[in-house]
Amino acid sequence: MKVVLKNLTKKFPSRDRKSHTDVIAVNNFNFEIPDGRLIGLLGPSGCGKSTALNLISGLLKPTEGRIFFGDEDVTDLPPENRGIGLVFQNYALYPHLNVKQNILFPLQNLKGKDKLSKSEMLEKVIEAAKLVQIDDLMERKPRELSGGQQQRVAIARALVKRPKVLLLDEPLSNLDARLRIQTREEIRRIQQETGITTIFVTHDQEEAMSISDRIVVMKEGVIQQIGEPQEVYDSPANLFVARFLGTPPINVFEGQVQGGRLIVGEDTVMQIGGVADRQVYVGIRPEGFVMKEDGTFHCRLDRVEVMGRDISVVCTNAASVNPTVRAILSTDHKISLNAGRKEEGTYVNFSLISRKVFLFDKETEKRIYFGEKGL
Amino acid sequence: MAEKVIEQKNMTAYQKIEMTARRRKKTAAVITYILLSVWAVIVLFPFYWMVLTSVKSYSAYNAEYIPRFFTLSPTMQNYVEAFTAVPLGRYLFNTLIFTLVTTLVMLVVITLAAFAFARLEFRGKNVMFVVFLSMMMIPNELAVITNFMTVTNLDMRNSFAGLILPSVMSVFYVYLLKENFEQIPDSLYYAAKVDGTSDLRYLLRVMIPISKPTLVTITILKVIECWNSYVWPRLITDDPDYFLVSNGIQEIRENGFGRENIPAMMAAVVVISLPLILLFLVFHKKIMEGVSRGGTKG
Amino acid sequence: MMRDKTINSGLKGWIYLLPAVLFLGVFMVYPLVDVLVYSFEEGYNSASQTYFGIGSYNYAYVLRDPYFLQALKNTFLLVIITVPLSTGIALLISLGLNSIKPFRDLFQTIYFLPYVTNTLAVGMVFMILFKKTAYSDGLINLLISCFGGEGVDFIDGPYWAKMFVLCIYTIWVVMPFKILILTSALAAVDQQYYNAAKVDGTSKFRTFARITLPMISPMIFYLIITGFIGAFKAYSDVVALFGTNLNAAGMNTIVGYVYDMLYGDSGGYPSYASAAAILLFAIVFTITCINLLISKRKVYY
């Protein structure tokens, strides 16, 4: 079932009684989710992503715009008639019911011709429980389960009615780091096995990138960019997206373009074709640095963090917007750094990998494309 | 003794401090236990006396100028008397009906109201809630006068309806339950909504089971209140067929057994006190917890 | 997040609320208005339901009625004696309970027992303990004479004796609630404060005065306020000791006066009852406000 959002807008009346301006939680959303895909709705907290999810679920009614499931307009349908499954951040399991009863609960609401016999219900419950691999925990109460197990029960409960669309609201944020990785792989597996169109809300970019077919990056109710995770990472549409994706985060500098050269601080760091002279923000991914004796980009060395697979060189630069500049280098560079560490005020020289360098307009913060690739 | 003195001499200063501290602690503990026991006796003694007197025979009791603290020839005769000479069984039955019906109706009324306040949105909700809260400050005594007139005019004196109806509403319990309902996470409600659960079904299948401890507490407190209620039943009944135990016992006292039959009176007192004491012994943890969460007597 | 109200419709809420509103309206709100009206209707006749005029005569009558003045005096005496005394003893007992471990639950359970008992029923036990009859002086009088005192009939005897037994019984009745509240308040004080005080070598008394008391002061004030309200509304325990004809015994309370005016041998005067009830409410309200004002200044929170 594909999901289409057309001009979807949600305004809330302002909490502040004095100002009568509405808060626009979701501003003019237009996008299409192809059938059977997993979409990550990504943004910092308060960006309206949960509101967007609740609009799709029907728990909230949009101020403007329409929602289509397939070709059917579901905008005015109540949640129970939309054929959706919803998983909450805190799982929302009924604490007084055991696992089996929790999964059974949605089926017992069916009325009329949809009503199932007891054995049919049980069959469906077992099927859903098997899918998420909790069929051996059926008699336990939610409080007797670990966070990961509770999450599986919540997913099973959302899936038991065979929804057309599965909605997950921050499903991993209450789990510890190890379980989070395990569970997100699990969600990916279940989604691929069932082929249900899935929308996944998260503030964790790593989470979204790792399992989504496509990600939608949001800020203050406005979609910033939609695309495949790698594509968005490699080619952010604006400074916000560039900063939001990637760990460690992108390094941002103030710079300027002058006669086809990119100048950061006092260094001319790159040759740039086809960009008029202007003030810019320069974003450089940590992996975009290469240490070279004759590198054109100079930074004062602060410390070196050894991570095993690679090393992180932390330095400072007067033009940097962030307090420190972080470069990630492969371990081959170890020797040359050891020599420099002893002295105060050692400078390191980098040259830059041009596809890891992004320019953004200082005013609009929009991406300025350069070079022949034109990414 | 002599050895001990030597021991003491050999003690270091620290040991001496330790020993006096221990001795002091012990004395304090002993005094505490004595005082606590004294109060326990004061609390329990009336109960003991009531049971003791109830098993003394009428003649034996009246023959004791100096009351004895025990009896060697306990008799159940007073209990027989209590049930036969006065309609004690009737009083108990009336009280049971009154207590059960009042508590049940109240539970329904307050659960619906608490659900509306905690979960539903409607125009005038906040105003209504303020009205409810302000009613908590109004003493019952103010309402009793008009209620007495209302029930009398409606010709409901000496009827269960007249007894029960003015007693079913309790603003305080609505408040208590509403607070409890509000602690249930919103997401449970939304999860149920997505599954097509109606509000009523959500209340019955999710909220009530989760709030069971609070509902049990409220039930117990209301049962105690009903069982012991005196003022309203006294105003509204003068036909002994509708007396509750409190009025019954007062009636027994004032023109009960034809003569001052204290042992039989005490037997009646034991009988009417026993149900609640048994309830208390079974549920004492729950009752005390419930009361400390904000109940007051009566 | 779910700030808007699309999910619930307006009518549904009122339907759920309806029974409660009905009961509240008929048996609480309407009576409040009505009682005010009654209290100003002069010469109300309950048989014909007519009255002569509107005025403050009912209040004037009640305030001059010697029975009411007696009831007022009794009630004030009862309040002034029992509230501080019961709160103090309850604090002492709670401190004791808090300092022991073995038998603590047992003691607590025993202490709570009077809460669940029928005030009328146990009042009768107190009556026979204190009463002097033809055949026996009663247990308490015998104890007094054991210690060389002179026996006195506490139930039908002099005023001070009746007041004494009333106070004793009232304290006995209100104790469970106070002990329970204070023990839980004491138990809720963080042990860390005590540990800190111990390390500093603070004396027991100082610890109590400077740590324990301030920490539980809100609860003490709560008990004092509810104690005042409860004692002002004393009635059924008085009936238990002295019977229903309280005016004759000279032991009536304000609430008793209200009910006697309303119903019974001297009843049939709802206007006087209303005026007295409103006077009671005014007294309770004033004292509660004064209490709250003091507590605002004194309580440490």
For range B69-81, the mean pLDDT: 85
Q: What pLDDT is recorded for position C128?
A: 87
Q: Do the Cβ atoms of C4 and A54 come within 8 Å? A: no
**What integer pLDDT is reported at residue C168 of this predicted model?**
94
CB < 8 Å from B in window 80-99 of C: 92-93, 96-97, 99
Chain C nearest-CA residue for B274: C117
Q: Do B64 and C136 touch (CB under 8 A)?
A: yes
Q: What pLDDT is attached to residue A224?
A: 93
Contact C2/A61, CB-based, under 8 Å? no
pLDDT at residue B203 in the model: 94
Residue type, A350: F
For residues B12 and A41, give the distance between their C-alpha atoms in angstroms, rounded to a whole number: 74
If you average pLDDT over residues C191-206, what whole number do you get? 82
Task: Give the CA distances from residue A334 to residues A285, A309, B78, B195, in Å, rounded to whole numbers and listed in that order.
Answer: 20, 12, 101, 58
Inspect the interface and report whether the beta carbons of B44 and C113 lie closer than 8 Å: yes
Residue C1 in this model has a pLDDT that exceeds 50: no
Binning pLDDT at 50, 70 and 90, where does residue B9 land?
A: low
* Chain B partners (3+ C-beta pairs within 8 A): A, C
Burial class (CB in 10 A: 0-12, 13-18, 19+), A248: middle
Which chain A residues contact residue C8 at CB under 8 A? none
Nearest CA distance, B216 vs chain A (angstrom): 15
Q: Which residues of C touch A13 (CB under 8 A)?
A: 3-4
Alpha helices in A94-238 (DSSP H): 99-108, 118-131, 147-159, 177-194, 205-211, 229-234
* pLDDT given at position B129: 92
Residues 6+ apart with CB under 8 A from B16: B8
B202, B249: one domain: yes
On the CB side of A176, how many CA atoms lie within 13 Å of its CA? 3
Q: Are A69 and A165 in contact (CB under 8 A)?
A: yes
| Average pLDDT score over chain B | 87
Q: What is the pLDDT of residues C203-235, one digit of tens each?
A: 888 888 888 888 888 888 888 888 998 899 899
Contact B216, B257 (CB under 8 A): no
| C-alpha–C-alpha distance, residues A365 and A254, integer Å | 12
What residues are paired with A12 via a beta bridge? A23
Exposure string for A221-237, b = 16+ CB within 10 A, e = fewer: bbbbbbbebeebbebbb
* C116-159 tens-digit pLDDT: 988 888 998 998 888 887 667 778 888 888 887 777 888 888 89
Contacting residues of B for C277, CB less than 8 Å apart? 141-142, 144-145
Report whether CATH 3.40.50.300 matches the domain A3-240. yes
Could you give phi then psi for residue A269, rounded to 5 degrees?
A: -95, -25
Tell me the domains of chain C and their CATH numbers: 66-298 (1.10.3720.10)
B140 and B86 together in one domain: yes
Using CA atoms, how far apart are residues C262 and C33, in angstroms rounded to an integer? Answer: 17
Q: What is the pLDDT of residue B256?
A: 66
Contact A331, A310 (CB under 8 A): yes
Domain presence at residue B132: yes
Residues whose CB falls within 8 Å of the CB of residue A145, separated by 6 or more in sequence, listed in order: A99, A137, A153
Phi–psi pair at B70, nearest 5 degrees: -155, 170
Q: How far is A97 from chain B (nearest CA, A)?
A: 9
Q: Which two structure tokens, joined as six digits, stand for B56?
A: 């003394």
Sign of CA dihedral B132, B136, B139, B141: positive
Q: Phi-psi category of B258—alpha, beta or left, where left has phi over 0 and alpha has psi -120 to 50?
A: left
| Number of residues assigned to chain B | 298
Cβ neighbours of C124 (radius 10 Å): 25
Chain C: closest CA distance from residue B150 (Å): 9
Confidence of residue B117 (pLDDT cuts 50, 70, 90): very high
CA distance, residue C33 to nearest chain B CA (Å): 9
Each residue's pLDDT, cut to its tens digit, for chain A (375 residues) gives 889 999 999 988 876 666 667 888 899 999 899 999 999 999 998 888 889 999 999 888 899 999 999 889 999 988 888 889 999 888 889 999 999 999 999 888 887 777 888 999 999 999 999 988 898 999 999 999 988 899 899 999 999 988 999 999 988 888 888 888 888 888 899 899 999 999 999 998 888 998 899 999 999 989 999 999 999 999 999 999 999 998 889 999 999 888 888 888 888 888 887 788 889 999 999 999 888 878 888 888 888 888 777 888 888 888 898 888 999 887 765 545 544 444 556 788 888 888 899 999 988 889 988 765 443
Q: Which chain B residues touch C262 with a CB distance below 8 Å?
A: 144-145, 148, 235
B60: in domain: no
Q: Is position B5 within any domain?
A: no
Is residue B99 assigned to a domain?
Answer: yes
Residues 75-94 of B with CB under 8 A from C: none
Query: At A250, phi and psi to the nearest 5?
Result: -65, 145
Please give the single-letter amino acid code of residue A221.
Answer: G
Q: What's the pLDDT band for C47 if we cut at 50, 70, 90?
A: low
ipTM given for this complex = 0.87
| DSSP 8-state symbol, C103 | T
CA count, 13 A, side-chain hemisphere, A319: 22
H/E element, A304: strand A297-306
**Which residues of C have a CB under 8 Å from any CB of A?**
1-4, 6-7
Tokens 């009531």 belong to B50
Regarding whether B240 and B287 lie in a shared domain, the answer is yes
Q: How far is CA A364 from CA A232, A260, A280, in A?
A: 19, 21, 10
Question: Are the beta carbons of A96 and B212 separated by less than 8 Å?
Answer: yes
Residues B151-161 have pLDDT tens digits of: 988 888 899 99
The CA distance from A135 to the nearest CA of chain B, in Å, is 21
The answer to whether the CB atoms of C1 and A13 lie below 8 A apart is no
The answer to whether B201 contacts chain C (CB < 8 Å) is no
Say whether C14 sits in a helix, a strand or coil. helix
Tell me which residue in C26, C180, C263 faces B148 most closely, judged by beta carbons. Answer: C263
Look at C8 and B39 and tell me if their CB atoms are within 8 Å.
no
Q: Classify residue B142: in a domain, yes or no.
A: yes
Write phi, then psi, for B154 (nearest 5 degrees). Answer: -80, 5
**What is the spatial distance between Cα A299 and Cα C147, in angstroms, rounded to a whole number?**
98
Contact between residue A8 and residue A66 where contact means Cβ atoms under 8 Å apart: yes
Rounded to the nearest 10 degrees, what angle do helices C66-99 and C57-64 cross at? 70
Q: Which residue of A has its CA nearest to B211?
A: A96
Across chain A, what does the average pLDDT equal?
Answer: 86
* CA pseudo-torsion sign C58, C61, C66, C70: positive
Pick A51's closest partner by Cβ from C1, C6, C7: C1
Are the beta carbons of B263 and B58 closer than 8 angstroms? yes
Residue contact B212–A84, C-beta within 8 A: no
Query: What pLDDT is stored for residue A282 in this prediction?
Result: 92
Residues B168-203: tens digit of each pLDDT: 998 989 998 999 999 999 889 998 988 888 889 999
Inter-helix orientation angle C159-187/C104-116, to 10°: 130
- Among A13, A15, A60, whose Cβ lies nearest the Cβ of C6? A60
Residue of B nearest to A155 (CA): B191
Q: Residues in chain B whose beta carbon is closer than 8 A to a beta carbon of chain A?
A: 185, 187-188, 190-197, 201, 205-206, 209-210, 212
Instruction: With CB atoms and an 8 Å threshold, state whether A85 touches B194.
Output: yes
For the packed helices C66-99 and C254-262, what is the interaxial angle rounded to 10 degrees?
Answer: 130
**Domain-wise residue ranges, chain A:** 3-240, 248-368
| DSSP code for C46 | T
The CB density around residue A143, as the number of other CB atoms within 10 Å, is: 8
Phi/psi of residue A102, nearest 5 degrees: -65, -45
CA-based nearest distance B174→chain A, Å: 22
pLDDT cut 70: percent of chain B above it: 93
pLDDT at residue number A334? 53
Cα separation, A90 vs B199, whole angstroms? 21
Question: Which chain C residues are closer than 8 Å to B277 by Cβ?
Answer: 113, 116-117
* Interchain contact C173–B (C-beta under 8 A): yes
Q: Which of B187, B196, B206 sits opposite A80 (nearest CB)?
A: B196
Question: Residue A269 to residues A219, A250, A278, A328, B112: CA-CA distances in angstroms?
Answer: 31, 17, 15, 18, 71
Provide the angle, in degrees to the nearest 10, between the axes of the packed helices B212-227 and B88-119: 140
Paired tokens of B190: 């939304």
Q: Which domain holds residue B162?
A: 78-292
Asked if the Cβ–Cβ distance from C273 to B145 is below 8 Å, we say yes
Q: Which residue has the higher pLDDT, A326 or B62?
A: A326
The DSSP letter of residue A366 is B
Say how far apart CA A40 and CA C134 lie, in whole Å.
92
* Inter-chain residue contact A92 with B212, CB threshold 8 Å: no
Give residue B138's pLDDT band: very low, low, confident or very high (50, 70, 90). confident
- A80, A89, A91: residue with CB nearest B194: A80
Q: In what order do the strands lie in the sheet with A297-306?
A: A289-291, A347-352, A297-306, A310-316, A325-330
- Distance CA(B244)–CA(B228), nearest Å, equals 9
Buried b (16+ CB within 10 A) or exposed e, B143-154: bbbbbbbbbbee
Identify whether residues B43 and B166 lie together within a single domain: no
Separation between Cα atoms, residue A88 and residue B190, nearest integer Å: 9
Which letter does DSSP use for residue A355 in this model? G
Percent of chain C with pLDDT over 90: 37
For residue B77, with 0-12 CB atoms within 10 Å meaning exposed, 13-18 middle and 19 or more buried, which class applies? middle
Q: Are strands A222-227 and A357-361 parallel, antiparallel or unpaired?
A: unpaired
Report the helix count and the strand count for chain A, using DSSP H and E: 9, 21
B230's tokens: 């005196």
Token reading at A371: 């070079």
Provide the residue type at C84 as one letter: P
C 249-278 residues inside an 8 A Cβ radius of B: 255, 258-259, 262-263, 270, 273-274, 277-278
8 Å CB contact of A12 and C2: no
Q: How many residues does chain C have?
A: 301
Whether A50 and C6 lie within 8 Å, measured CB to CB:
no
Dihedral sign from CA coordinates of C208, C213, C216, C222: positive
Q: Which residues contact B141 (CB under 8 A, 6 or more apart)?
A: C233, C255, C258, C277, C280, C281
Query: Chain C closest CA to B10's CA: distance in Å?
Result: 27
Please enumerate in sequence order all residues whose Cβ is within 8 A of that of C190, keeping only pairs 6 or more positions apart, or say none.
none
Instruction: Give the Cα separation of C210 and C54 in Å (integer).
Output: 56
Q: Answer yes or no: is B240 within a domain.
A: yes
Is 80 exceeded by the pLDDT of residue C6?
no
Of B29, B139, B277, the CB nearest to C117: B277
Which chain C residues have a beta carbon less than 8 Å from that of A59? 2, 7
The torsion region of residue C284 among left (phi > 0), alpha (psi -120 to 50) and beta comes to alpha
The chains found to touch A (3+ Cβ pairs under 8 angstroms) are: B, C
Cβ(C119)–Cβ(B228) below 8 Å: yes
Please give the share of chain C, as a percent, with pLDDT higher than 70: 93
